Amino acid sequence: MRDLRLLAVAVLLPIAAGCVSRPPTVAHVHIGHAITGVHVTPNKEGYLVSAERRAQETIDYASKAANSHDLAEIKRNIAMAAQATDSVDNFGVKESIVMAVNHVTFAATSDDATLNLQKSAPKFAADSTRVIERCDLIALLSKDVQTSTSLNEAAVSVNEIAKLAKANLAGDDSNRDGVAGSIPSEYGLLQLRKELEAMIAQEHPPYVTVDQWYLFNLVRLPNGKWVFDKLGRGGNIEGYK
């Protein structure tokens, strides 16, 4: 009988351990949307990851355009660079970084947000503005390329697009101190990632990678409250991204 009781306890212990496990905080799920994964991006990757990938695509297309001597080919590559930068439906650089900022802001305004997030999120949002400005410039310059009638005319805008594309990923050195991204007005996505990682490192309790189920099933009710969809339908009741 004693052996049977010990066996019953041994069986129940894992169940009890499972019962006390806790879901991540809503704030940390939003951070996970920015850096780990979210159900709406093409590869279900985090918004910042999407921004970095699309920024590299923009660099590649702009580089091809800069090295081409065929005006039609230049226009095609710049059109692709513009899409990688400015597409809303396919999460271009601008859309992706805007959504990353939105979710960091959601994290900071969640009921369970730490003081660290509340203080750090506004700075992250402000420091992202230079990337967004560059995206807008790339979009405008790409239109100039499409109306160009000669290689020389197109080259002026193409070269500027190439510079902006590189800066959107690695930052620029506008103050000429020899360091790209040394101040927020020079930031690219790499500097924004470091800033976000530093923010996360200050979290107490510590941030841990959020399980995919929680990432894909956080929903906002019509009253604005964030909850986990127990049915696991992978979406949002109000259709937020």
* Interval 97-128: pLDDT, tens: 999 999 999 999 999 999 999 999 999 999 99
Quickly list H helices, the chain. 2-20, 26-35, 47-66, 71-86, 93-109, 115-127, 129-146, 151-170, 189-201, 212-216
**Mean pLDDT in residue range 53-67:** 98
Which are the contacts of 116, defined by CB distance < 8 A and separation ≥ 6? 199, 202, 203, 204
Which amino acid, one-letter code, is at 115? Answer: L
Pairing relationship of beta strands 226-228 and 218-220 according to DSSP bridges:
antiparallel
Q: How many CB atoms lie within 10 A of CB 233?
A: 11
Provide the percentage of residues in the chain whose pLDDT is more than 90. 78
Which are the contacts of 90, defined by CB distance < 8 A and separation ≥ 6? 42, 83
Name residue 220's beta-bridge partners: 226
Place of tokens 């710049």: 78
pLDDT on residue 236: 55
Spatial distance between the Cα atoms of 110 and 113, rounded to a whole number of angstroms: 5
Is there a contact between 146 and 75 (Cβ–Cβ < 8 Å)? yes
Which are the contacts of 69, defined by CB distance < 8 A and separation ≥ 6? 151
Place of tokens 């080919």: 73
pLDDT in tens, 177-193: 999 999 999 999 999 99
pLDDT on residue 234: 64
More confident residue, 221 or 156: 156
pTM for the structure as a whole? 0.86
For residue 162, give the nearest of 54, 49, 65 by alpha carbon.
Answer: 65
Count Cα neighbours of 84 within 13 Å in the Cβ-side half-sphere.
Answer: 24
**Mean pLDDT in residue range 126-131:** 97
Is there a contact between 127 and 192 (Cβ–Cβ < 8 Å)? yes
Place of tokens 């005319």: 153
Residue 35 phi, psi dihedral angles, 5° rounding: -115, -15
Q: Is it the case that residue 76 has pLDDT exceeding 60?
A: yes
User: Residue 23 has what DSSP assignment?
Assistant: P
3-state secondary structure of 225: coil
Ramachandran category for residue 125: left, alpha or beta (phi over 0 → left; psi -120 to 50 → alpha)? alpha
